[in-house]
Amino acid sequence: MEIADVREKWTNRINVVTIGATREQGGTRARTVSVGGETTLPFLTFEGEMPNRPVIAGLVVDVVPEDWPAALKSAIGDVINSPTEWAQRCVEEHKVDLISLKLLGPDPSGRNLSAAQAAETVRAVLEAVDVPLIIWGCGDGEKDNEVLMECSQAARGENCLIGSATEGNYRTLAALGKADGHKLIAEAPVDINIAKQVNILLQDAGFDLNNVVMCQVTAALGYGFDYVYTIFERVRIAGLKGDKHMALPQIANVGWEVWKVKEAIADEDVLPGWGRLEERGPRWEAVTAAGYLQAGADILVLAHPEAIAVTAQAIDELMAG
């Protein structure tokens, strides 16, 4: 009996976005990182190409989040209070492809550090490591406009990936991205229609979608992961079918979200029968990451060294076919 050929044939290619600039390109990075370029759904290389492997960005935060459990902090080690040393350890020991610097310090409801202080951290991290850099604001719209503007200038020419552009601030982000030569993260709140809207707005503001990576507010396993998974997948299918506003690489901010949920931060005394947090936390992060890999994530931001190691191995195995 003849078996029907069920291979899908897609008509479009996902954009390739390159992050980082070497000396020849006007930056100081030792190498650049390219993501995207797929002509098929994740890892279905019998249907199409996946020219760039998914990459891991090591999460580094300028100010350690208060609710992070001791199990995570001790796994990261004593470097956790120094963004530069933390970034170096991520690169040298955990072999991450790039660094994802979260600037929590300027948050007005927290330390309320100045934009200049944030920019100083960006400069120091760029000096400490030679991999490409992702820079995220604190999440406060007004403060981020100021902080990201200053950080963008501090990193001028380094071709960083800066996040995140939303319906509220896309004009500012488009302007700084163009002025200082950076890529942008376009973010939507678990909503595919707004995701497309932000991309259209960025394009209308004159920012080339070839320089944009899409982000949905990333849900941890157990907290709407399935919603975000389907959005990743629908975005990718729309992009492969030819929707130019959706044919963009995607980033999943896994580490930042996972270490907020009770399954990853509450120990056995709070959750009897759930097993030791030292094991459960990194597993929660790694399993969430594995899900997003299958959904179509091109960049995974990860915090726990064990989650980084397990995910790197999973990517190796999946890319080996």
Partner 1 sequence: MIFIGERINTGFADIKRAVLEKDPQPVQQWAVKQANAGATYLDVNLGAVSSSPDDMCWMIENVQQVVDTPICIDSNKPRIIAEAIGVCKRKPLVNSTTAVEKNLSAILPLVAEHGASVIGVVMDEGGAPKDADKRVEIAGMILAAAIEYGIEPENVFLDPIVMPLKFMQAQAGHILEAVRQFTLFSDPPPHIVCGLSNIANGTTHKKLINRTFLAMAIAAGMDSAICDVMDTGLVNSALTAELVMNREIYADSYAKKPAAL
* Contacts to partner 1 by CB under 8 A: 9-11, 192-194, 196-197, 199-201, 204, 234, 238, 241, 243, 245-246
Residue closest to 281 by CA, chosen among 303, 251, 250, 297: 303
Tokens of 290: 């594995």
Q: How far is the CB of 241 from partner 1 (least distance, A)?
A: 8
Q: Quickly tell me which residue has 């000396």 as its tokens.
A: 23
Based on its alpha-carbon atoms, the radius of gyration of the chain, rounded to whole angstroms, reads 19
Residues 200, 35, 318: CA angle, nearest 5 degrees: 125
C-beta separation of 159 from 25 below 8 A: yes
Q: How far is the CB of 245 from partner 1 (least distance, A)?
A: 7
For residues 260 and 217, give the distance between their C-alpha atoms in angstroms, rounded to a whole number.
Answer: 13
Nearer to partner 1, 68 or 207 (CB): 207
Nearer to partner 1, 243 or 267 (CB): 243
Nearer to partner 1, 57 or 248 (CB): 248
For residues 94 and 309, give the distance between their C-alpha atoms in angstroms, rounded to a whole number.
Answer: 7
Phi, psi (rounded to 5 degrees) for 204:
-65, -25
Helix (H) or strand (E) holding 287: helix 277-295
Q: How far is the CB of 169 from partner 1 (least distance, A)?
A: 16
Q: How far is the CB of 243 from partner 1 (least distance, A)?
A: 6
Residue type, 154: A
Q: How far is the CB of 154 from partner 1 (least distance, A)?
A: 32
Nearer to partner 1, 44 or 266 (CB): 44
DSSP H helices, 104-253, are: 115-128, 141-154, 170-180, 192-204, 225-241
Nearer to partner 1, 239 or 282 (CB): 239
Q: Residue 142 contacts by C-beta under 8 Å, 6 or more apart in sequence?
A: none
Q: How far is the CB of 40 from partner 1 (least distance, A)?
A: 13
Nearer to partner 1, 8 or 127 (CB): 8
Q: How far is the CB of 227 from partner 1 (least distance, A)?
A: 15
Q: How far is the CB of 187 from partner 1 (least distance, A)?
A: 15
CB atoms within 10 A of CB 121: 22
Residue closest to 212 by CA, chosen among 18, 48, 53: 18
Nearer to partner 1, 204 or 268 (CB): 204
For residues 74 and 175, give the distance between their C-alpha atoms in angstroms, rounded to a whole number.
Answer: 40
Nearer to partner 1, 96 or 192 (CB): 192
